[in-house]
Structure 1
Amino acid sequence: MQQHADSYYAASLNLPLSYPTLENDLDVDVCIVGAGITGASAALSLAEKGYKVAVLEAHKVGWGASGRSGGQMIFGYACDQSKLTTMVGKDTSRALWDISLEAMTQMRQRIKTHNIDCDLADGHLHAAVKPRHMTELEGWAEDLRLNFGYDGLQLWSRDQVQAQLATESYLGGLYDPDSGHVHPLNYTLGLVEAAQQAGAQFYEQTAVTRIEQGATPVAHTARGRVRCRQLLLCGNAYLDGISPDIERKIMPVGTYITATEPLGKERAAALIANNMAVADINFVLDYFRLSADTRLLFGGRVSYSRLDPLNLAGAMGQRLRQVFPQLRDVNQQYTWGGYVGITMNRAPHFGRLNDNVYYAQGFSGHGIALTGMAGSLMADAIAGSAERFDLFGRIPHHDFPGGRLLRTPALVLAMTWYRLRDWL
């Protein structure tokens, strides 16, 4: 039986939920595959609308990226908004932008409404490592102000960054007071509990082995079947062959985080004075924030090969201390990782396999808020209001080259170029 990853989040979860394994056949209105934020959000929205819902999770609720991530709640999408405008046009891009902001508002509202204890904190900085990054950030801010009406962003100089952040690594940054960060596992579990209280049924250690499409879709598991009128695929990087048609559009990529021992309030405040989350804008980026108990949570490695880096804790510690050399005396207590699903263009991939099978995937490391909105949009579509969900279908997506066997080596070669560019 697989439990949560051995992470700081699992060690500090405040809602130890447990659900049964499916042992029989069910008939429901909606079956949801995957109990991360997307699946839990869809279940909550649908149960509140009066639908009979069953959620099937192969491991523990919140086991995947939803419960392991950096917890950074950021405006927009993993691809910048100007790229999205090029792909879908100005009007659709503006509508998608507004949805991304609504996702953060919805997240805050749900935390308040359902009293989810997940250490919500405000503020996020995109940090510039080199001069061309400052030019990029200036362009982002101007585009978002002129074309999307988002005028709350603050361009910070090096001195302004250093007034809040005790490192010399950055030349400046773009600060957003409306973005923020959370404890992602506690947030996910809070959504699951809210959905369960609204009437949704959750089943753990219940992997879906295959699906049947048709007028009445069926999700098959080892010990039971779920027949439904609507089926939602919310497993993202962990669908594991259930639907090859959409699996070809994403690549599971390993991401990793390390957590220090508690620093104490004084030392933590000296490190990040305003308690914001931070991410640089390299293609392979560093990102970090403080936990509620004053640890530094630092992410900064990726694996495109599906092999974890050797001496992961040591490698993560080296990167952490490049940014914060003053922490060389601080121990690391947790280091963990897992997969996120990325798309070729880094835009999210939402759609339908047919009229009654929906999917949302490919958040590309930018999903803490958008995953919740994805679940709500699928619920709205099932209830008859599909216009906003269908906006995402206008984003063009392509298969990763090389098929199932060769796409990983092909991606490794491509990513090597981007990593080299980070060093220039």
Structure 2
Amino acid sequence: MAASPYPPSWYAASASPLPEQAPARGDIQADVAILGAGYTGLSAALELAEAGFKVVLLEAERIGWGASGRNGGQAIVGYGCEVDTLEQLVGRDDARRLFDWSREGMQLLRDRIQRHAIECDWRDGHASVPIKPRQERQLRQWQAHMQQQYDYPMAWWDRDQLRAQLASDRYLGAVFDPQSGHLHPLDYAFGLARAALAAGVVIHEHSPVTRLQRGARAVLHTAQAQVKADYVVLAGNAWLHGIAPELESRIMPVGTYIGATTPLGEQRARDLIRNDMAVADVNWALDYFRLSRDHRLLFGGRASYSTLPPPNLRGTMSRRMRRVFPQLADVAIEYVWGGYVDISLNRAPHWGRLEPNVYFAQGFSGHGVASTGLAGQVIAQAIRGQAERLDAYARIPHRPFPGGRLLRTPMLVAAMAWYKLRDVLW
């Protein structure tokens, strides 16, 4: 059997992959050309093909090869920034609209799973958990604000209520969101791709775009092909290298890492998280975890802002996991993997147009499982002439990371060190 082209992970080992799609060759004509076969690109492709557009999608590696196939699998309503940040950026009214659309994005994800019979292990429920009294106060204030100003109900669980569902003494309580949840990320990407192919989308893998040629009919160039289209969608996110410098300056790639234990057995796994929810703490350098379908604990919680993999990653992940679940002292981590997420400076979504016929979406800031699907739909609607929602996202102001190409990474590393120290001391 040939080696998997995907980076080794539990996701790659357990997914149901698609056959490889042929690389792009020659001169290709399309109504819409899309760069990137992750959730955003696949979602836009599916929407546009169902509306009658001829869509060609170019992927440098394989479908779901980037963050869409490696992420933590937690699908959460909202964005990478909180609503108070959106209120400061665009005002209360637009912040409310953006949040309501994120709720629609979560429903869109659920609808696509059901409509296209995507087998991706969807599970309901997400808990945000505080470690310190300061965090508990902030979470409770956030819960009340979301209920009163955004009509979004979430339950507060005290420590005993949480302990009835989660076998850890580390946390002081939880805000439980029944509308969010978790899934198998790579299988979800494959499901979207199957739906897109069935709708008539042409997907070319192993076709890295080398250049965007702008014009009345834009062209995406690869080493062996050029795809001419009336519209182009850039959905490369953290992997968009050299194609659109004005986009690259407004995001930073951040390495994020996940471990999967050896199988625990059904009863032992269920004893850890009785209601099968996803869980994330609220530290800046957070831990997040959930159960897999084969009764492993999937535990994420180590980020690298320098783009260099952390040393002794498996050992670090094991220590963090056992800090949450000391009862797993005898359990080994079998898989460890990582990838890049694209963060914007304000953690808000960065979606819009580079040219009248060149669209983009990026800046999901670690919160993209649901919002990427929404981004694809919003861009597809704009291409079809319904641009109200994209225009609202485009009004969110974004600044480039300070320091330029050479200094922005060390400056970000220094800033993140401060936030991590605050988690410990405050």
TM-score range, shorter chain: over 0.9
Tell me the TM-score normalized by structure 2: 0.98
**Count of residue pairs the alignment pairs up:** 423
Tell me the equivalent position of 1:249.
250
CA contact 1:17–1:189 (8 Å) conserved in 2: no
SS state at 1:78 partner = coil
SS state at 2:274 partner = coil
CA contact 1:2–1:60 (8 Å) conserved in 2: no
SS state at 1:229 partner = strand
Say whether 1:29 aligns with 2:60.
no
C-alpha deviation, 1:214, in angstroms: 1.0
Tell me the equivalent position of 2:327.
326
Whole-Å separation in 1 of the counterparts to 2:179 and 2:253: 29
Whole-Å separation in 2 of the counterparts to 1:9 and 1:17: 17
Structure 2 residue aligned with 1:117, among 116, 119, 141? 119
Residue identity matched to 1:46: L
CA contact 1:82–1:143 (8 Å) conserved in 2: no
Can you list the C-alpha shifts for 1:151-175, whole angstroms capped at 9, x where unaligned? 2x00111111111101111011100
C-alpha deviation, 1:383, in angstroms: 0.2
The unaligned stretches of length 5 or more in structure 2 are: none
CA contact 1:15–1:190 (8 Å) conserved in 2: no
Whole-Å separation in 2 of the counterparts to 1:17 and 1:308: 31
Tell me the equivalent position of 2:14.
12
SS state at 1:208 partner = coil
C-alpha deviation, 1:302, in angstroms: 0.4
Say whether 1:129 aligns with 2:131.
yes
Q: Which moved more, 1:39-48 or 1:133-142?
A: 133-142
SS state at 1:335 partner = strand
SS state at 1:410 partner = helix
C-alpha deviation, 1:15, in angstroms: 3.1
Tell me the equivalent position of 1:395.
396
SS state at 1:375 partner = helix
C-alpha deviation, 1:67, in angstroms: 0.6
Residue identity matched to 1:415: M
Whole-Å separation in 1 of the counterparts to 2:50 and 2:18: 23
Residue identity matched to 1:226: V
Say whether 1:261 aligns with 2:262.
yes
Whole-Å separation in 2 of the counterparts to 1:143 and 1:354: 38
C-alpha deviation, 1:241, in angstroms: 1.5
Whole-Å separation in 2 of the counterparts to 1:405 and 1:231: 29
Residue identity matched to 1:245: E
Whole-Å separation in 2 of the counterparts to 1:136 and 1:60: 41
SS state at 2:89 partner = helix
The unaligned stretches of length 5 or more in structure 1 are: none
CA contact 1:253–1:340 (8 Å) conserved in 2: yes
C-alpha deviation, 1:17, in angstroms: 3.3
Can you list the C-alpha shifts for 1:201-240, whole angstroms capped at 9, x where unaligned? 0001100001011111000100010000000000000001
Can you list the C-alpha shifts for 1:280-299, whole angstroms capped at 9, x where unaligned? 01111000000111110000
C-alpha deviation, 1:2, in angstroms: 8.2
Q: Percent identity?
A: 55
SS state at 1:51 partner = coil
Tell me the equivalent position of 1:354.
355
Whole-Å separation in 2 of the counterparts to 1:388 and 1:140: 26
Say whether 1:80 aligns with 2:82.
yes
Tell me the equivalent position of 1:206.
207
Alignment of 1:46-85 (within 5 A): 46-85=48-87
4+ long deviations beyond 6 Å: none
Can you list the C-alpha shifts for 1:234-274, whole angstroms capped at 9, x where unaligned? 00000012110011000000000000011111001100000
Residue identity matched to 1:33: L
Tell me the equivalent position of 1:169.
170
Change (3 A) 1:2 1:216: farther
Whole-Å separation in 1 of the counterparts to 2:360 and 2:211: 15
SS state at 1:368 partner = helix
Whole-Å separation in 2 of the counterparts to 1:80 and 1:221: 38
SS state at 1:352 partner = strand
Alignment of 1:283-362 (within 5 A): 283-362=284-363
Q: Root-mean-square deviation (CA), in Å?
A: 1.0
Can you list the C-alpha shifts for 1:381-404, whole angstroms capped at 9, x where unaligned? 000001011111121111001111
